[in-house]
Amino acid sequence: MNKRLGIIQSRGLGDILIALPIANHYRAQGWDIYWPIAQQFLPNVEKHVPWVHWIPLSVDRGTYFYDIPMQRLRNLGCEEILCLYQSLSGHPEITGTIEFQIMKFDQFKYHIAQIDFVNKWRLSECIQRDPDEEKRLYDQLGAGDQPYCVLHLEGSNHTAAFDRSVIPPEYKVIEIKEQVTKSIFSWLKILEGADIIVCVDSVVANMVDQFNMTRDKDCYLIPRSHIQLTPVFGGQWTYLDPAPQIAQRLRLFVPS
């Protein structure tokens, strides 16, 4: 019987994608992975990452981030438990390190796990793709009819805006919406076939970057968070000016 490793990262979906290569590394070392996540994210991963024992949690602010996952994992007999949060209310010990002051939040996760950060870009090795579902969505949205651009502009109660002149007028525009599919991974074929991708800093941008898709297409990223809350993007992205109110919050200079 393999040893059991518990992971505490109950949300959001982008953070879960960032952390999946960490779990996969430990799986390769012979660990069984147990991972409590918010119930709303389960459809994204239960079929595509079946090697994780996913533990769905109902939202209960203040306890479901850490206390409930920790108790569940202890009850399941996990010999080791990794808490991958960079910061968490009520747990000052997480931020009381030198690393917290100098690392991006995704780097911090890999540092905690004692895994080389370059493993973050091995997400494709963690996923069992569904070619039939990907093709169904590809055909449904007419992705093969002409050159096309994929947009993902919604993330964590924020909708991005940008100068759409970067999209040639003859290009078809396909916008990623959460309600279209059960799993974010159903969009992989469409993303891989796109000529242009425009993403707000959110889960789709993480997936595009971690799948190393930026090498053969024009990819644009719209920032929405302070630098410490923005992950490291390793691909070839062109950064677009965010909406003025977001730029002001980020203390960015945006030409008028």
Residue 243 has pLDDT above 70, yes or no: no
Average pLDDT on 189-215 reads 96
3-state SS, one letter per residue, for 121-158: HCHHHHCCCCHHHHHHHHHHCCCCCCCEEEEECECCCC
User: What H or E segment, with its residue span, contains residue 101?
Assistant: helix 98-102
For 42-73, b where at least 16 C-beta lie within 10 A, e where not — what string?
A: bebbeebbeebebbebeeeeeebbbebbbebb
Which tens digits make up the pLDDT trace of 54-74?
A: 999 987 666 778 889 999 999
Residue 179 has pLDDT above 90, yes or no: no
What is the model's pLDDT at position 34?
98
What is the model's pLDDT at position 150?
97
Going along the chain from its start, the domains and CATH numbers come out as 4-126 (3.40.50), 132-250 (3.40.50)
Contacts of 10 (CB under 8 A, 6+ apart): 36, 37, 38, 57, 64, 65, 69
Residue 241 has pLDDT above 70, yes or no: yes
What is the model's pLDDT at position 219?
97
What is the model's pLDDT at position 160?
83
Percent of the chain with pLDDT over 90: 68
Residue 49 has pLDDT above 70, yes or no: yes
Which tens digits make up the pLDDT trace of 78-121?
A: 999 999 987 776 666 666 666 667 788 899 999 999 999 999 99
Q: Is 6 helix (H, G, I), strand (E, B) or coil?
A: strand
Residue 1 has pLDDT above 90, yes or no: no
- pTM confidence score: 0.90
Residue 253 has pLDDT above 60, yes or no: no
Residue 149 has pLDDT above 90, yes or no: yes
